[in-house]
Amino acid sequence: MHKANSLREPAEPEKSPSQNTQLIEAINLCHSFGDQDVLQDISLTLHRGEIITLIGPNGAGKSTLLKILLGLLKPSSGEVWRRPNLRIGFMPQKIQIDPTLPMTVERFLALGKQANLKPDADDTTISSQQILEDLNLQALLNKPIQKISGGEMQRVLLARALCTRPQLLVLDEPVQGVDIQGQSEIYQYINQIRNEYQYGILMVSHDLHIVMKHTDQVLCLNRHICCSGHPQEVSQSEDFITLFGEHDPAIAVYEHHHNPHVCGHSHGDGHIHLHHPDQESDSK
């Protein structure tokens, strides 16, 4: 049995089945910059195979909370428990690379691979080759990283996060700068790898309508957690409506169902290769 080597033991010594799959837990986090409170009393728990989406307006403290969970920032009070030796794959929100640095996409991805990883028995993992194929990155490998488009960059960053063989994926605005079809594809791909490899996924988004479908739990953040739960409940809760307004039915969410039997368009560059397109149609 694993014991926490650093921050804290799990709350109860008797492990319930759910605690075996628990990846990260935040307990009563508070944070302030100077005299400004940014986060108040945030608690959350993420298990394997679970997707939690953090939404909230600008300035709600989403990035601060993410930094605390990633261990980049110490909270003013409260604790973070991480599963011992938790491997986190992180996809930062934006990355700026000076054009004077000569670096190809391939080198960028190679720099992320951790050399000292021991394969563990309980992990089903995805090979780097598979990641490149799924995210359709082979054609980009020899390009300078500064010359690829915003959407391509998001796929490269996702690939780098996946190459570290994570147990927990933390994605900060994963579809920023991606066109609407690409967004739907990225979300479907994230859902698919969650189903296949049981990664726990924590992501931040400000576009709530499109992320909702596969998310197990939505946390609506505005310094404190103003509502949380299954997407359906959250979108009908009063706090949510006050914060974001009602779901505008005029914003239709386009979902890309690539089924070669029905749809004959070319499956060329820029597409993500979903393993089993048929599985995706259950949600219609």
Interface positions with other proteins (CB under 8 A): 67, 70-72, 88, 90, 92, 95, 97-98, 100-104, 107-108, 111-112, 114, 160, 164, 170
**Residue 152 · residue 104 · CB < 8 Å:** no
Q: How far is the CB of 12 from other proteins (least distance, A)?
A: 29
> What is the rounded distance in angstroms from the CA atom of residue 51 to the CA atom of residue 23?
12
CB-nearer residue toward other proteins: 98 or 282: 98
> What is the rounded distance in angstroms from the CA atom of residue 101 to the CA atom of residue 217?
40
CB-nearer residue toward other proteins: 72 or 139: 72
CB-nearer residue toward other proteins: 33 or 254: 33
Q: How far is the CB of 234 from other proteins (least distance, A)?
A: 28
Contacts 24+ apart (CB under 8 A), 93-96: 93/63, 93/172, 93/173, 93/176, 93/204, 94/176, 95/153, 95/157
CB-nearer residue toward other proteins: 200 or 231: 200
Query: With the CA atoms of 34, 39, 40 and 42 taken in that order, what torsion angle do they form, in degrees rounded to the nearest 10?
Result: -150
- 200 — phi, psi (to 5°)? -85, 140
Q: How far is the CB of 195 from other proteins (least distance, A)?
A: 24
CB-nearer residue toward other proteins: 137 or 226: 137
Q: How far is the CB of 193 from other proteins (least distance, A)?
A: 19
Find the helix or strand (DSSP H, E) in which 185 lies. helix 180-197
Q: How far is the CB of 95 from other proteins (least distance, A)?
A: 5
